[in-house]
Amino acid sequence: MRELRGRTAFVTGGDSGIGLGIARALVGEGVRVALCGLTESSVQTAVDELSARTGGQVEVEGYVLDVRDRDALEAVAEQLDESYGGIDILVNNAGVGFLTPTVEAGFEQWDWVLGINLTGVFNGVRTFVPRMLASGRDGHVVSTASIGGLLGTPGGLYVAAKFGVVGLMEALRTELHGTGIGVSVLAPGIVRTNIAHGPRPPGVEASESPGGASLDELYQAPLEPDDVGRAVVAGILNDDLYILTHGEHRPFLAERFEAILASLPPEPADERRSAVERTVLANPVYSEAVARREAR
């Protein structure tokens, strides 16, 4: 997508934090934004703020819904079809934080975290992307994972969900290759949001933070949601597969990828096996992602 003005976007979890930062960046580009959140007050506050930022020149509307509610998502999709002929940009951003160690987490907590952070993303994709394809227009899907979706950080349930988002978006990018619908996965590090004060899973009252650090420690030099919003707009315009926000993550990612490569069997590759594996695994989206970056 080279031109965003006049397009329509749906942003889940767009009433605060990263989602609101993305919504701000989109309306700044002249994109109509429909957003959703969990409470009437937070949704209305976000709609009022975004409308004021544009002087009412860009349409903004809000919905109260839980991304686990497929019927509610379908109703919103139908409304947006009627109002704008559907959406062009889908931002699956709604998510919750939960960093309890895996062996201490309960089954209900697993269902809650995965239901919102991973199944919620699938619900958005399954509800909106077929409509986007049917419209015949080009478009873009962005889903929010985390650096915890690329590194095995503490908090197994959260990490499992975010790794799932990364894999789902890579697969979706492959499946939509050549359709005119781009796909990006956003994997931010520490951003100043209210996720630590968001909804808690069943049986949990207090929030956790990475490594037991306090919010004051984590927020010594955080990115702001608006920084992430600008990165997302750039990622859409550049059709980037990965939208990473922190250059500081380079050594940690390199260490993980080197560990994976170092674990391959040392024996020379069998040519016949290689041909079969290549048939299944060769994927142009990775080389294209590198080429896009190198061309800039």
Active-site residue set: 158
- Of the candidates 232, 171, 177, the one whose C-alpha atom is nearest the C-alpha of residue 33 is 232
CB 47 within 8 A of CB 69: no
Q: Which residue has the tokens 């992602």?
A: 289
CB 42 within 8 A of CB 15: yes
Beta-sheet pairing, 139-144 with 89-92? parallel
Q: d(Cα 190, Cα 55) in Å, to the nearest integer? A: 31
**Which residues touch 74 (CB under 8 Å, ≥6 apart)?**
127
Q: d(Cα 22, Cα 232) in Å, to the nearest integer? A: 7
Q: Which helix (H) or strand (E) holds 140?
A: strand 139-144
Q: d(Cα 35, Cα 62) in Å, to the nearest integer? A: 5
Q: d(Cα 133, Cα 127) in Å, to the nearest integer? A: 11
